[in-house]
Amino acid sequence: MKRHLTQKTYNPEQIILDGNRFLLANGHLGYRGTLEEYGKDQLVGLLIAGVYDQYKDEWRENLALPNPFFFKAYYEGEEVSVLTAKPLVHQVDLDIEKALFTRHSEFGPLTIDSERLVSHSDDSLLISKITVKANKAGKFKFAYGLDLDIYEIHGPHFKQKSCKNVKNKLIFDGITNENKTIFVQASYQGLSGEFNEKEGLFFSSMVLQEGEEISLEIVAKVDEEKLRKLPKDDYAKLKGDSILTFNKKLEGCKVEIEGDEELDFEIAYSIYHCLILGDEKRIRSIAARGLSGQTYKGAIFWDTEIFLLPFFVLANPKIARNLILYRIATLNGAKEKARSLGYDGAYYAWESQDSGLEACRSDNVTDPITGETVVTYFGTKQIHISADIVYAIDRYIEATGDEKILDEGADEVIFEVAKFFLSYSREDENGISHIDDVIGPDEYHERVNDEAFTLAMARRVMKILAKRVCPSCLSKEQEKLYYRCLNIKWAEPKKQGNVISEFDGYFDLEDIDVASLKKRVVNPKDYWGGKNGIATHTQVIKQADVVSLLALCPEDYETPVQLDNYEYYYPRTEHGSSLSASMHSLVAIKLGKLDEAYKFLRSSSSIDLRGAEKLFAGGIYIGGTHPAANAGAYLDLIYGFLGLRQNKGKISLDIHLPSHIKSVTFRYRNNKQIYEIKALADGRYESKEVKQ
Ligand code: BGC
């Protein structure tokens, strides 16, 4: 059973991808999988969740911090690093069961070994140990400390910063443009050196004999607003504690696949990437690129509710609950957004940050040649986000039985979202309500009417309103609105046979498949949607839209309808979003197309291992990890191939595995207990409680 991601060669072309692949995180802090000698140009990143900042009129984004693990070695005055010489031997490794990164590089004069953890037992901590062995006798110099030159997409975010040396401990004190104070402190044990305040670095020179070793242990801590003490425990204890805690986290969500080693590893790796983003302590959500950088402004999208939430419902319901509490906590932002656009109720941010106000701007996309803005309307027209949140709340309550969350504000979220859809809809002369001028999950076609996904989700919001919100708890005026919502007669999207028109007029667009449309691409970085994109006037769509509907609400569509829609939309879908494959897999499983479903599953489960996704759009870095696709792979396996359904904690399976897979064993948490289910290819399964 492979549980290590190991890379045995050094490839400078993969520096950015490796930063994602070897990411460490603990839900609060993230540290990219880079090497000690790297700097800003190699996208070194220490990221903190939930803290955002805006510099001038730039995009408001999550904060990146100075790097406490910077280390560079010199021999006889010359730098010895992967940046100056090809290592003779090189290996980096991520142990996904320990959340531990290690590195080994041999150069002529010296060998460097290092390890690194972002602590799971104290989420403000990150630690590293670096060992250098002299392969030749001579004069060595080591530069180490806090690299203050931060890689930021839309910075600089610190309007004021200082770095002081207090007895071999460096303390960075920074004030952001939005007046948040952040401290990064780090102790450096094992070397003593001269401190250069401007660079934030120590310089230590010495003569080493052949075979002699030096070691540096770094304990770093990130604090907000108030500087707190570094822990008294030594490095070994801190390392042990982190590994133990991560092991406990993993205990409740391990998956083992018999008969498919590659998938077994990819699923374990996907789980790792989801698990390192969950925060049990805080009411926080998860950004679309997790803690791997500042792509998408560190904002939270529908990715969390539709893809990550069902993973956490099984892996750690407490974290799932926090994800919903985050939407309750940001309800005021959603109400404000609705009000500012002239609607009632709650219109959640398409890109949500700390307050829930909209972070998405109309200048999200640029023309790769001219650099000019391609105006998009994601922030103002992608209204399905509000319905997705209500859908997720309903599914969460159904799975866990946690109705208490309704009294903690989830009922208000449902009611306010229903009000929003009522105010957004237009009633025609026959009393039928339409939804005009929106964008569905397929973002290539903007400002369309009666979009199938949006209409169906709006209809579902009203059903959930009836099911979850008690009218007698409402004021008289609210009660009237409640019944108005329930009485809406929603328009049905048009159809051709069984095939649902993605939106009004969709079938009138040029009918072309993705491969043929690709031939019209002028610049590979061109955006296909918006006003002038190559897909805009065709039936080619960016990602699963009607197919997402079939995946999320299978009970609402008969099998022949599912089949006809799946087959119609499949050749017309570009899969331009990493979210698309897992939705297709879920539907393909239902239709018995197991080979096709398996291919889609592998496309999600290997996404960050393959690293084939685009890294730049125009001049903008859009890379990072893809937690929703990772979670999507888990959904395909557990909710799809194993057909898991959960009702008030009770699990049932309906197993349809690809023929080469013999069994899938998985664990989940329910009511503080951990359970393990072994699912066999012949459809049988057994469940047992795991002793903790
Ligand atoms: C997709 C959205 C998704 C966002 C963040 C976009 O490319 O079209 O559906 O929410 O990326 O992952």
- Cα torsion 664, 665, 668, 672 to 10°: value is 170
- Cα torsion 91, 33, 15, 74 to 10°: value is -70
Q: Looking at per-residue confidence, does 652 or 368 come out higher?
A: 652
Given a contact cutoff of 8 angstroms between Cβ atoms, the answer to whether 204 and 194 are in contact is yes
Which of 577, 614, 615 is the best mutation target for the ligand 1 pocket, counting ligand atoms within 8 Å of the beta carbon and taking the most?
Answer: 577
CA of 379 to the centre of ligand 1 (A): 12
Which of 304, 438, 579 is the best mutation target for the ligand 1 pocket, counting ligand atoms within 8 Å of the beta carbon and taking the most?
Answer: 579
Arithmetic mean of pLDDT, 539-565: 98
Interior CA angle at 433 toward 429 and 436, to 5°?
105
> In which element (H, E) is residue 256 found?
strand 255-258
CA of 303 to the centre of ligand 1 (A): 7
- Predicted confidence at residue 636, as pLDDT, reads 98
Active-site annotation, residues: 443
Locate 208 and state its tokens. Answer: 């080493």
CA of 18 to the centre of ligand 1 (A): 22
- Predicted confidence at residue 371, as pLDDT, reads 82
Q: What is the mean pLDDT of the chain?
A: 96
CA of 557 to the centre of ligand 1 (A): 25
- Predicted confidence at residue 452, as pLDDT, reads 98
Cα–Cα distance list, 193 to 139, 388, 526 (Å): 15, 55, 51
Locate 263 and state its tokens. Answer: 């998938």
Buried/exposed code over 530-551 (b: 16+ C-beta within 10 A; e: otherwise)? beebbbbebbbbbbbbbbbbbb
Q: Which architecture, in CATH terms, is 4-250?
A: Distorted Sandwich (2.70)
Nearest to 27 by CA among 274, 221, 270: 274
Q: Do domains 4-250 and 330-531 have the same CATH topology?
A: no
Whole-number Å distance between alpha carbons of 405 and 220 = 37
Q: Is the pLDDT of residue 322 over 80?
A: yes
Whole-number Å distance between alpha carbons of 641 and 658 = 8
Arithmetic mean of pLDDT, 639-666: 98
Arithmetic mean of pLDDT, 210-217: 98
Q: Which CATH number fits domain 330-531: 3.60.20.10, 3.40.50.1000, 1.50.10.10, 3.40.50.2300?
A: 1.50.10.10
CA of 577 to the centre of ligand 1 (A): 6
Q: Is the pLDDT of residue 523 over 60?
A: yes
Nearest Cα residue to atom 6 of ligand 1: 577
CA of 580 to the centre of ligand 1 (A): 9
State the residue for tokens 């498949």: 513
The full DSSP string for 625-667 is: --HHHHHHHHHIIIIIIT--EEETTEEE------TT--EEEEE
618 band by pLDDT with thresholds 50, 70 and 90:
low
CA of 643 to the centre of ligand 1 (A): 26
* pLDDT tens per residue across span 476-485: 999 999 999 9
Whole-number Å distance between alpha carbons of 222 and 184 = 5
Arithmetic mean of pLDDT, 302-318: 98
How many of the other CB atoms lie within 10 Å of CB of 247? 13
CA of 3 to the centre of ligand 1 (A): 29
Nearest to 51 by CA among 299, 274, 280: 299
* pLDDT tens per residue across span 658-689: 999 999 999 999 999 999 999 999 999 999 99
Nearest Cα residue to atom 12 of ligand 1: 288
Nearest to 68 by CA among 36, 40, 43, 99: 36
Q: Is the pLDDT of residue 225 over 70?
A: yes
Range with the lowest mean pLDDT among 22-36, 360-374, 430-444?
Answer: 360-374
CA of 110 to the centre of ligand 1 (A): 45
CA of 269 to the centre of ligand 1 (A): 21
Arithmetic mean of pLDDT, 618-630: 85
For ligand 1, residues with CB inside 6 Å are: 288, 296, 301-303, 441, 443, 542-543, 577, 579, 628
Nearest to 112 by CA among 82, 69, 68, 78: 82
Whole-number Å distance between alpha carbons of 153 and 445 = 28
Q: Check: pTM over 0.85? Answer yes or no.
A: yes
- Predicted confidence at residue 619, as pLDDT, reads 58
Range with the lowest mean pLDDT among 50-64, 108-122, 352-366, 651-665?
Answer: 352-366
Whole-number Å distance between alpha carbons of 279 and 325 = 12
Q: Is the pLDDT of residue 385 over 60?
A: yes
Nearest to 669 by CA among 297, 397, 314, 378: 314
Arithmetic mean of pLDDT, 570-578: 95
Cα–Cα distance list, 88 to 8, 9, 85, 108, 454 (Å): 11, 9, 9, 7, 56
Within 216-357, residue ranges assigned H as helices are 235-251, 261-275, 302-303, 309-315, 317-329, 331-340
CA of 685 to the centre of ligand 1 (A): 36
Given a contact cutoff of 8 angstroms between Cβ atoms, the answer to whether 455 and 546 are in contact is no
Q: Give the nearest ligand 1 atom to 579 CA.
A: 9
Give the residue extent of every domain in the chain.
4-250, 330-531
